[in-house]
Amino acid sequence: MILVTGGAGFIGSNFVLDWLADFDEPVINLDSLTYAGNRENLISLIGDDRHLFVHGDIADQALVAGLLNSHQPRAIINFAAESHVDRSIHGPEAFIQTNIVGTFRLLDTVRSYWAGLECDAKSAFRFLHVSTDEVYGSLAPSDPAFTESHCYEPNSPYSASKAASDHLVRAYYHTYGLPVLRTNCSNNYGPYHFPEKLIPLMIVNALAGKPLPVYGDGMQMRDWLYVKDHCGAIREVLAHGRVGEVYNVGGWNEKPNIEIVKTVCGLLDELRPRDDGKPYSAQINYVKDRPGHDRRYAIDASKIQRELGWKPAETFDTGIRKTVQWYLANFEWVANVQSGAYRKWIDTHYAEASIT
């Protein structure tokens, strides 16, 4: 049995669904169901005895200790995090509490559990912490991509809180010997992505006839990773990664944001044309750039390919087409996650960004 934290969120739910599609090993799924955690992501698992969902917080040490002692998982995969830069700018405290305090409490509870395991179980146990390329800071146009040895230079409250959590995980390995693994991924996209992030926001706004807000000149560069490729990489790291090591996971798809937006518009023009025949790109609206907006991220995923044989199965062209098709086929899911609180946040946030 494995324990997955944050398993009702975007990447976590994709991981749980893919895991149970490929393996019979049961999953305990612990999620606090904040705004981006959604039980509807897991609706296909209703009645599946291999999936135990628990509504709770990684910072609740009594709850986590009870789960560990009752179910004796052989591994923990920690997806639980606050993860949106814009939200971290408006309200950083939640990111400190979840990403730093929550990770610390989870680690400390897991350390006690691991210390009490029998020899073979103790040796086989793993704690895999899922992080982000944003901890490395921003790259100049000609800089080489981030490797695992790149220094940490976070520029937002979100990335700073994730950097702190990474350092805590590293410290628990070097100080206590806890058998940890860490991954730092590039921008994920795909099914079940909460519609405040770039790609789903563009799809949702385009179909609703709303402006497509693009920060600044739209030339911020990101490496894009299809979420199911990311899940496959995590499974490889869990199974074969070297204890104490970090593995960068990227899609080898470095593209500017404006190209992403125009690609989404082109696919919607093909798959769901506007009634008036105009292109969806006519809805693009450049807005004031956000504070501290990193200009470029790029992941060098050579290490994970060299050591574990992993590389992404999807190109950006194949992955983005699958993503747009999924949202078109699952618009009821989109409508259900767009609560009044979500709509209010989106309207307020982008209203504050003056049109350029």
Annotated catalytic sites, by residue? 133-134, 158
State the Rg of the chain over Cα: 20
Residue 14 tokens read as 């994709």
- What's the predicted TM-score (pTM) here? 0.92
What whole-number distance in Å separates Cα of residue 159 and Cα of residue 115? 31
Residue pair 187/225 in contact (Cβ under 8 Å)? The answer is: yes
Residue 116 tokens read as 């009490």
| pLDDT given at position 350 | 41
Query: Beta-carbon neighbour count of residue 232 at 10 Å?
Result: 19
What whole-number distance in Å separates Cα of residue 200 and Cα of residue 2? 30
Residue pair 12/86 in contact (Cβ under 8 Å)? The answer is: no
Q: Over the stretch 73-129, which tens digit does the pLDDT of each residue have?
A: 999 999 999 876 667 687 889 899 999 999 999 999 999 999 999 999 999 999 999
CATH of the domain at 111: 3.40.50.720
Number of domains in the chain: 1
Residue 41 located in a structural domain:
yes
Residue 352 located in a structural domain:
no
Domain that holds residue 57: 2-190+225-252+292-314
| pLDDT given at position 341 | 53
Nearest CA among 355, 14, 23 for reference residue 211: 355
DSSP type of residue 194: -
The parts of the chain modelled with pLDDT lower than 50 are 342-343, 345-346, 349-350, 352-356
The DSSP annotation for 204-232 comes to HHHHTT--EEEETTS--EEEEEEHHHHHH
Residue 106 tokens read as 């989870």
Residue 270 located in a structural domain:
no
Residue 129 located in a structural domain:
yes
Residue 267 located in a structural domain:
no
